[in-house]
């Protein structure tokens, strides 16, 4: 099934060849550019409730990250610095050398890296449900993210998950949600995205290629701060990345506003879309 048939909307589906990879993205609106980066176990589709409202003021671009959804799934390039280059080059191919960067979960961690590696690119930063990776190194292991260790086992996840990707993803989507917000159509779209050829390998590479990455990032970014105006939004009932993991975040983001979103779990942009839109619109500039 093509992404257009499964996810029609006011946006347009496009593809671009950047940084050696073919990325799928949707685009809508005009004005100051905004790029929205999804997390796991999701795709660009997680922004479907947010894009139309933000497109009234911004040119919104929501890609599938390398290895996910309808983007290419090569066997290389899953380090966050490479993923950051993917996004900067994608926006550059559209004529944008600066953008509002919005990210959640994996996309939130990637947003931090973009702000550190390409500070001139980031107009403002909006991060949802994502602790700063340097601070997270010192946190105790959360049993909710048991699957990250499972993914690191050679060959076993491939054998157990092949043919069951949709049900595996569905478990986390429902378990990490505080409210009953997913429709059958939503779950079917995520199942489609994670069940197509190459998706299992792409998903696993994102986790396997990060082994040792926190330590490398500590050496690379130690003493660095993100000084761009930043909005941090967090679901009150986030299970995999609880709100308390934001403690000390101000040491790394020197110009941040933190907002706790009530009655929402990990997928705050889907569970509390209206509140997220309200907070983003109040925080972001009306024009460049």
Structure tokens at 236: 């009150």
Which is it for the CA torsion 44, 50, 52, 57, positive or negative? Answer: negative
One-character DSSP codes across 25-51: EEEEE-SEEEEEE--TT--GGGGTTTH
Q: Show the tokens assigned to 27.
A: 């685009």
Q: Is 207 a catalytic residue?
A: yes
Is residue 163 a contact partner of residue 157, using CB atoms and an 8 Å limit?
A: no
78, 112, 182, 207: which one is catalytic? 207
Sheet (strand 230-235) strand order: 12-18, 21-29, 58-63, 32-37, 99-104, 122-128, 230-235, 256-261
Give the active site residue among 70, 105, 129, 238: 105
The closest alpha carbon to 165, from 179, 177, 151, 183, belongs to: 151
Q: Quick check: 226 and 253 in contact, CB under 8 A? A: yes
Quickly count: other Cβ atoms within 10 Å of residue 188's Cβ: 15
Q: How far apart are CA 260 and CA 210, in angstroms?
A: 28
Contact predicate 29/59, CB 8 Å: yes
266 catalytic? Reply is yes
- Report the C-alpha gap between 140 and 132 in whole angstroms: 14
Q: Which two structure tokens, joined as six digits, stand for 184?
A: 């059958």
Determine the Cα–Cα distance for residues 229 and 283; give it in Å rounded to an integer: 9
Residue 231's CB: how many other CB atoms inside 10 A? Answer: 22
Active site positions, annotated: 105, 207, 266
């Amino acid at each position: 099934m093509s992404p257009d048939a499964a996810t029609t909307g006011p946006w347009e589906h496009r593809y671009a060849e950047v940084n050696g990879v073919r990325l799928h993205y949707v685009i809508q609106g005009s004005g100051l550019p905004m790029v929205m980066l999804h997390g796991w176990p999701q795709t660009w589709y997680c922004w479907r409730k947010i894009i139309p409202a933000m497109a009234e003021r911004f040119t919104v671009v929501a890609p599938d990250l390398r290895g996910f959804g309808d983007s290419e799934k090569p066997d290389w390039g899953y380090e966050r610095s490479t993923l950051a280059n993917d996004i900067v080059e994608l926006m550059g191919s559209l004529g944008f050398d600066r953008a509002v960067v919005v990210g959640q979960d994996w996309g939130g961690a990637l947003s931090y890296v973009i702000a550190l590696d390409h500070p001139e690119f980031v107009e403002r930063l909006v991060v949802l449900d994502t602790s700063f990776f340097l601070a997270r190194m010192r946190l105790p292991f959360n049993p909710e993210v048991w699957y990250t260790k499972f993914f690191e086992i050679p060959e076993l996840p491939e054998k157990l998950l092949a043919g069951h990707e949709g049900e595996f993803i569905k478990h986390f989507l429902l378990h990490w949600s505080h409210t009953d917000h997913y429709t059958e159509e939503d779950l079917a779209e995520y199942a489609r995205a994670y069940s197509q050829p190459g998706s299992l390998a792409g998903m696993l590479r994102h986790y396997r290629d990060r082994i040792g990455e926190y330590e490398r990032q500590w050496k690379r970014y130690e003493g660095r701060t993100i000084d761009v105006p930043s909005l941090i939004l967090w679901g009150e009932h986030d299970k995999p990345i609880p709100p308390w993991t934001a403690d000390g975040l101000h040491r790394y983001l020197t110009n941040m506003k933190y907002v706790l979103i009530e009655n929402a779990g990990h997928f705050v942009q889907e569970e509390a879309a209206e509140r997220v839109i309200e907070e983003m619109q109040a925080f972001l500039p009306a024009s460049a």
